[in-house]
Chain A
Amino acid sequence: MPNIRFRLNGVETEIDADPDTPLLTILRGRLGLTGPHFGCGAGECGACNVLLGEHAITSCDTPFWSVADKDVTTIEGLGNAQSPHALQRAFIAEQALQCGYCLSGIMMSAAALLKRNSDPTTSDVKEALDRNLCRCGSHNRMVRAILRAAAELRSS
């Protein structure tokens, strides 16, 4: 099986795997990450969203070969308790979840939005998250958290 090289959360990574394996399978299986979640396996819910370059993609239906030589960022790469990303701070401040299973995918969609639009409106945020599903009904809190993070990033 061919070796595929990519940067995972800024770290050069090399894995030999069937190139058609879904990226999520590699991230959760061989690489042992727990941030991206399996929800549907068909790119329909967004629980597995990660950044490929600057864009949020569903990793469950993205073949591994397509990330060769690219940057993949998961929620683990966004920030951590010692140095949280503005989005992570804002989601805590707004208590913007109930169960939180969809959360890491939603935060990655939000991170992609903030990379391309530093001053999004409410409807920009909703559009950006429209392919992410949340079943607990925490949508409005999440939108508030993302607007809060955007404001924090602009003022810093």
Chain B
Amino acid sequence: MTAEPASPPLPPSLAANPRLSSWINFLPDGKVRVSPGKVEIGQGIVTALAQIAADELDVDIARVRMVRASTSASPNEGVTSGSLSVQHSGRAIRFACAEIRQIFLEAAAERLGVETNALSISDGTISGPGNISASYWELASEVSLDRDATPGATPKPVAQRTVAGNSVQRLDIPDKVFGRPRFIHDSPLPGMLHGRVLRSELSRATLTELNEDKARKVEGLVAIVRDGNFAGVVSETEAGADAALAALRKGATWSPGEPLPNEAELAEWLKRQPAQTTVVANRQATSPAPTARTIKRQYSRPYIAHGSIAPSCAMAQWDGDKVRVWTHSQGVYLLRSDLTLVLKIPKENIIVEHMEGAGCYGHNGADDVALDAVLLAKAAGGRPVRVQWSRADEMSHAPFGAAMTIEIEAGLDANGEIVDWHHQIWGNGHSARPGRAELPTLLAASELAKPFPRAIAADPSAAAGGGADRNSIPLYDFPAWQIECHRLTIMPIRASALRTLGAQGNVFAIESFLDELASERGEDPVAFRLRHLSDPRARDVILAVARRAKWKPAKQDGTGYGIGYSRYKNTGAYCAAIAEVEVGEDISVKRLTLAVDVGEAINPDGVVNQIEGGAIQVTSWVLKERVRFDTTRITSNSWTEYPILRFTEVPEVDVEVISRPDIEPVGAGEAAHGPVTAAIGNAVFDALGVRVRDLPITRDRLIAAMENS
């Protein structure tokens, strides 16, 4: 007897949440309910997941009803981040649907008295010879999906997929185009009250005095809540809440908290702070070549704000000792964990439901405002309370993407070839997400009369793509390297996960430094990269982008061209970018050309949309963005103080997707950031012969670099 070959294991998300009915149900109205644990954060994921379900089940996509994640019913898929939703949720749904399809085929075969291989499925109707048929919905009462997924289900081969792989229209767009309520901001609950939280402009301030008299007189006031440094108002109307907050602010006296660093020397400050050092990677040369000389360069990036166009918003409603929370958090279960810690009630007493917010680029204020709503709703007598942050709170109290200082030293042999590479990173960790630690990381938790200590950001593990060290290991065939990360153990400025974590800074440093080395040797930067790359998919995106941008176009005065490349997280999407810049009075990016390889592109237009969006967003980071602060407070708390790229400043973006339908899909949302950052820096150098190593690349920075060169 020969053993059956072992079935491939279940995809991780499905293994963790094996109950098939938690993912898929057939509804009496002829629809299919698909319930992913991942959430829509403006990236179109819900549509991509619907495509996968429609394909594997052989139903029209119009029958697919996507359900928002909730701790009351959904699979627990952790957090929607890291460009992993297609990998995690998509694979789980694909395998769950493949198994469900098989289960129904067998049930139909039994009912119809034929073999399963005589049956075919079209839009949910299972037909066999001689016009016999049964549908998923007719069979649903006989087939229980309250059973666990088993390994061995076989999803359709690529060639048989008719929905996935095609650009289908996103399911959420019509509502948004017609102004129909879709966002949490637009979804009032019956009997809802409005809350506002009083926060000082001062960083981590202590509320030393609070005179409530004026606020008490504001029409519509329901309650003033005070717990240590946490204070807020609840009102019958939103305008009343704003008015009461303004009155309460006049009665508040604050004293400043821990001083903030000197912004002017931030990059050097990061290198002097107490830190935990880890060796990220070490490669020894098999036959070490002698180093003839070394070159060392330092690069930096500032703190960067999420800057979602919508301020963070949440709703909460208490019923006795149970609370229900509506949130645009990226992880409903993780938020629930932190709420459990703060409220000291069992998790069964808390239901956290997802609702769409505006574009989410990482750990912003969404979780914080949910706790704010829960705390204020305690004073609402069982009525729901909606809390919305102000723009200033959003820009100063939500976590920022961490500032980074990066130093690379290359050892060169007598021929100037790279024989050694030493990459060091200084800065805070890139994740203080809720639900991951013994202590809550929600803002108000550190403001209560019995406060929780404020969490210091950590870094995700290497298996999760790393944090500060993300993309710090070179993708090039260097014979030896040493990568070290110095993670700060203090955190005067609140930092957590922002799109790409440390990858943007590391790719900027590596790809700028490579450009410097190529330039010293008088080598073409594209040829120089190709000479050090053996991975064929890497070479393909570089060759494709070079072809598409007609590398290298003839140079005119004041223009420059630069290239950047990376494979996101070293395991995800491959992306190469070429930037064309014009440097005159100001620095403008005229055109970005990108080539990307995400494996199978489930929704090709969705991939292009994500790459375009990432490329434009990071152009904004590179040319304009820098969180400003003095020693007591964040000063860049409005769009005037924290400008972002405007329509007239946006480059043309041209994207080529290299299709590889046989390779498992990976996410596209963060692939462009690092390559575009480096491409812009390298193009500025090409235009002027001046290297700006500190982001953002502004006119002032350019002048400073010219003076230092």
Give the B-binding residues of A (Cβ under 8 A): 21, 25, 28-29, 33-42, 44-45, 47, 74-76, 79-81, 84, 88, 91-92, 95, 97-104, 107, 123, 125-127, 129-141, 143
Contact = CB atoms under 8 A, between A and B. Distances in A.
B650 A95 contact: no
Interface string B173-195: 11011111111011000000000
A41 B242 CA distance: 11
17 contacts: A34-B186, A40-B638, A40-B639, A42-B639, A44-B640, A74-B179, A97-B173, A98-B610, A99-B308, A100-B42, A100-B172, A100-B176, A101-B308, A101-B357, A123-B648, A133-B646, A135-B644
Interface in B634-687: 638-640, 644-648, 650, 652-653
B178 A75 contact: yes
B670 to A, nearest CB: 12
B19 interface: no
B593 to A, nearest CB: 13
B44 to A, nearest CB: 7
A84 B490 CA distance: 54
B391 A137 contact: no
Contact of A39 (B41, B181, B311): B311
A104 B640 CA distance: 22
Interface residues of B, number: 58
B616 A140 contact: yes
A107 B176 CA distance: 11
B179 A75 contact: yes
Contacts of B167: 95
B17 interface: no
A101 B391 contact: no
A137 B648 contact: no
Contacts of B640: 44
A88 B183 contact: no
Interface of B: 41-44, 167, 169-170, 172-174, 176-183, 185-186, 237-239, 307-311, 356-361, 388, 390-391, 605, 609-610, 612-617, 620, 638-640, 644-648, 650, 652-653
A101 B639 contact: no
Nearest to B237: A29
Most buried by B among A38, A76, A102, A135: A135
A129 B167 CA distance: 27
B494 to A, nearest CB: 20
For the complex of A and B, the 7 pairs showing the least CB-CB separation, nearest first, are: A99-B42, A35-B179, A137-B616, A101-B358, A137-B613, A100-B176, A99-B359
A44 B638 contact: yes
B638 A126 contact: no
Contacts of B172: 100
Most chain B CB neighbours (cut-off 10 Å) among A84, A99, A103, A129:
A99
Contact of A130 (B173, B181, B648): B648
A143 B647 contact: yes
Contacts of A37: 183, 185-186, 309-310
B647 A98 contact: no
Contacts of A139: 616, 645, 647, 650
Nearest to B617: A137
B236 to A, nearest CB: 11
A98 B356 CA distance: 12
Contact of A129 (B311, B610, B644, B647): B647
Contact of A141 (B44, B183, B612): B612
A126 B648 contact: yes
Interface residues of chain B: helix, strand, loop or mixed (majority): loop
A140 B238 contact: no
Contact of A132 (B357, B605, B616, B647): B647
Contacts of A47: 309-310
A91 B309 contact: no
Given A98-B44, A99-B357, A103-B176, 6 more contacts: A41-B390, A81-B174, A91-B173, A99-B41, A99-B360, A138-B616
Contacts of A102: 309, 358
A103 to B, nearest CB: 6
A29 B238 contact: yes
Contact of A25 (B239, B357, B388, B639): B239
B177 A103 contact: yes
A65 to B, nearest CB: 15
A113 to B, nearest CB: 12
A139 B613 CA distance: 8
B609 A98 contact: yes
Contacts of A95: 167, 169-170, 173, 605, 609
A123 B646 CA distance: 12
Nearest to A104: B179
Q: Point out which of A79, A88, A133 has the most chain B C-beta atoms below 10 A from its C-beta.
A: A133
Contacts of B638: 40, 42, 44
Given A74-B179, A75-B178, A130 B647 contact: yes
A23 B549 CA distance: 48
Nearest to B603: A95
Contacts of A45: 309, 639
Nearest to B242: A25
A68 to B, nearest CB: 19
Contacts of A138: 609, 612-613, 616
Nearest to B614: A137
Contact of B239 (A21, A40, A81, A127): A21
B650 A126 contact: yes
A155 B683 CA distance: 42
B173 A100 contact: yes
Contacts of A107: 177
Contacts of A75: 178-179
Contacts of B616: 137-140
Which of A47, A125, A136, A139 has the most chain B CB atoms closer than 10 A to its own CB?
Answer: A136
A130 B648 CA distance: 6
A35 B178 CA distance: 8
Nearest to B183: A101
A91 B179 CA distance: 13
A20 to B, nearest CB: 11
A112 to B, nearest CB: 14
B42 A39 contact: no
Contacts of A84: 177-178
A41 B170 CA distance: 30
Nearest to B390: A41
A64 to B, nearest CB: 11
B44 A79 contact: no
B85 to A, nearest CB: 14
Contacts of A143: 647
A6 to B, nearest CB: 18
Contacts of B612: 137-138, 140-141
A25 B242 CA distance: 11
Contacts of A132: 647
Contacts of B177: 84, 88, 91-92, 97, 100, 103, 107
A125 B390 CA distance: 30
A16 B512 CA distance: 61
A9 to B, nearest CB: 11
B538 to A, nearest CB: 24
A42 B614 CA distance: 27
